[in-house]
Amino acid sequence: MPIRVLCVAGARPNFVKIAPILRAFRTRPRFAARLVHTGQHYDDLLSRVFFDELDIPRPDLELAIGSGTHAAQTAEILRRFEAVLVAEQPHVVLVVGDVNSTIGCALAAAKLFLDEPFRFRGARRRRPVIVHVEAGLRSFDDDMPEEVNRKLTDAIADVLYVSEPSGVANLRREGVAEERIVFVGNVMIDTLLAARERARGAPVLDELGLRPRSYAVLTLHRPSNVDDPAVLAKLLDALDRLAADLPIVFPVHPRTRTRMRDRGIALEPPRWRVLDPLGYIEFLKVMSEARVVLTDSGGIQEETTVLGVPCVTLRDSTERPVTVDEGTNRLAGTDGATIAARVAEALAAPAPAHAPRLWDGHAAERLVAHLAGELGVRLP
């Protein structure tokens, strides 16, 4: 009998992480892996483009939960995913990252009893095994909704696949048993390395009239940066001064776009190139050729590390410290003078491309091989 796995993805960064995992499961016939799309992100530009470009098979199940407050969105995920669990009877539920879909689906799975028992770590088991990919990351900032999602998901997951050494240290400090902690590397970097050649040939710079290394890239979507219109306006004003020297390419997340519209913020060309969200391949190309990347995203801190592009993070903390210790990342917070100083440092002394340990393109394969062992499945 195959091991039934439900892989969950809901929001843009999840699609990038789930792609290599699904591929690795599907080369192993002992696993029957199905993909559940919660629909937390539903716009084509945040969702469908990624399926097309990353060759992710169409989702087997779509929950179409849409947007809402945290409670409403999470409640809807719980309700709809529970029905899927009852129908599908999965042995394994795999969640990635730190979005509301991650904790919602993990929590529904944690309380479900299956019709038939199976074996896990040599013992009889009635509940799905919960697997968290990108476990152990901590920003130590509970004002971030993602931090709450990370801590709660790690607390109920059976297997915690970690992407960088800080994740192992954090979980140990929290008293998590060693057998649950497994350092496999970074699945997001699996996707980047697989797509890099294709991105090299993408015509997007010509289409946008940009020359390599002659612009900065900005992404912004953290609630702490964009939800308060005064904070957002101040931040963009500070960045506008930088844009006088180095034009800023700004693909705008829908959350940020709405706030800018509400506040009547307009960013003027040619200093600014305000764009809709880009697809994965186009964004990878634009990011690879930038002088500097300014961001509040987590994944982009990792991607710029591997690409060797200076990154200035517009937050006071990072849950990905390896990108600062070993990579190209500098924390700047949101103060204009500090951002300007960090950008100047980054431009003066760019760090070389660097791959932290196990960011080698094979994290998903290691993950599937390890999980097979835990389930007593022999892989050829």
Could you list the active site residues? 221
Contact between 12 and ligand UD1 per CB under 6 A: yes
> What stretches of the chain adopt beta strand conformation (E)?
3-9, 31-37, 61-62, 92-96, 118-120, 123-125, 129-135, 159-162, 181-183, 216-219, 248-251, 272-275, 292-295, 311-313, 329-331
- Specify the stretch interacting with ligand UD1 by CB under 6 A; choose among 5-13, 105-113, 154-162, 332-340: 5-13
CA distance 273 to 289: 15
CA distance 5 to 277: 31
Binding track, positions 123-152, relative to ligand UD1; x by CB under 6 A: ----------------------xx------
Q: Which of 3, 8, 9, 13 binds ligand UD1 (CB under 6 A)?
A: 13
Which is closer to ligand UD1, CB of 42 or CB of 274?
42
The answer to whether the bond into 270 is cis (omega within 30° of 0) is yes
Task: Pick the binder of ligand UD1 from 99, 129, 160, 343 (CB under 6 A).
Answer: 99
CB of 14 to ligand UD1, least distance (A): 8
* DSSP structure string for 267-328: --TTTEEEEPPP-HHHHHHHHHT-SEEEE--SHHHHHHHHHT--EEESSS--S-THHHHTSS
Binding letters toward ligand UD1, positions 236-275, x by CB under 6 A? -----------------xxx--x-----------------
Q: Which is nearer to ligand UD1, 46 or 372 (CB)?
A: 46
Stretch that binds ligand UD1, among 92-100, 184-192, 212-220, 309-317 (CB under 6 A): 92-100
Instruction: Name which of residues 180 to 239 contact ligand UD1 (CB under 6 A).
Output: 221
Specify the 3-state DSSP secondary structure of 193: helix
In the region spanning residues 59 to 78, those forming contacts with ligand UD1, defined by CB under 6 A, are: 67
Size of the site for ligand UD1 (CB under 6 A): 19
Question: In the structure encoding, which two tokens stand for residue 279, read together?
Answer: 């697809």
Phi, psi of 226 (to 5 degrees): -115, -20
Q: How far is the CB of 50 from ligand UD1 (least distance, A)?
A: 11
Residue 36 DSSP SS3? strand
| Nearest distance from C-beta of residue 52 to ligand UD1, angstroms | 16
Quick one: tokens of 276? 């809709």
- Count of alpha carbons within 13 Å of 26, Cβ hemisphere only? 13
Q: Return d(Cα 22, Cα 191) in angstroms, integer.
A: 12
**What residues between 18 and 57 interact with ligand UD1 by CB under 6 A?**
40-43, 46
Which of 7, 15, 38, 100 is in the footprint of ligand UD1 by CB under 6 A?
100
Q: Which residues bind ligand UD1 (CB under 6 A)?
A: 11-13, 40-43, 46, 67, 98-100, 145-146, 221, 253-255, 258
